[in-house]
Amino acid sequence: MKKILIVFAVVSVFGILCFSDNALAKMRRIKKLRPAVSLKASPESLALQNRVIDAYELPRISDRKELARHLPEHFFVRVSSSYLEMSDEVGGYATLPTRDFILKLGEDFFVIFKRKLKVTSLLRTVEDQQKIVDRGQSIADGFVPESQSSHLAGVAIDISKKPLSPRERRWLAGKLLAYKKAGKIEAIEEMWNNAFHIMVCPNWQAGRCF
């Protein structure tokens, strides 16, 4: 009887260990299957940006006359910094939270690399966006509400990857991923445009919206 109990105990322990190993392996597989936060572009990312813009009831600017009407209200502000190289074709305007975000990101980059980030686009009008779509430099054609560019609301930033070294690109991608995981921004890496596209949450300093 004693021998039977010993054998039963050994088999039970072995079974528990096997079950534990199988359970752990299964959990690892599930973890691998979970979608990771990445900077890959997708229609879902563009639709998400538009949902946030609509939720905050932000205006989308059709032309420069409409932009001029918003400037006296200080809804849009000009972006200027000694830490940024500006090459925006609409004059470097953005919403105040977006400006604050890019100023901080540019300063953080400059402190480490002693170089300026190159900002290639901020606010765009519908007219400007259509020209970019026609050149094949954007998938945000606006044919349906979900495919409108977040640049139209002044909450988006494009940062050129061309001047960046591999180390600088890795740092910037890691920084954007951290902000994205925290729900502060929606960011993608635009391979066709050789740039990082960032939409800034209007409430990024106090909370999250992604």
Question: What are the residue ranges spanned by the domains of the chain?
Answer: 1-34, 37-200
CA distances from 186 to 64, 105, 113 (A): 26, 15, 24
Across 43-47, 88-92, 93-97, least confident range? 88-92
Q: How far apart are CA 82 and CA 4, in angstroms?
A: 81
207/19: higher pLDDT: 207
Topology of the domain comprising 37-200: Muramoyl-pentapeptide Carboxypeptidase; domain 2 (3.30.1380)
The model carries a pTM of 0.78
Six-digit token pair at 209?
Answer: 């919206």
Six-digit token pair at 44?
Answer: 């879902």
Q: How far apart are CA 170 and CA 155, in angstroms?
A: 24
Question: Which pLDDT score, from 0 to 100, does residue 139 have?
Answer: 65
pLDDT tens-place string over residues 3-41: 444 444 443 433 433 434 554 454 344 344 434 678 987
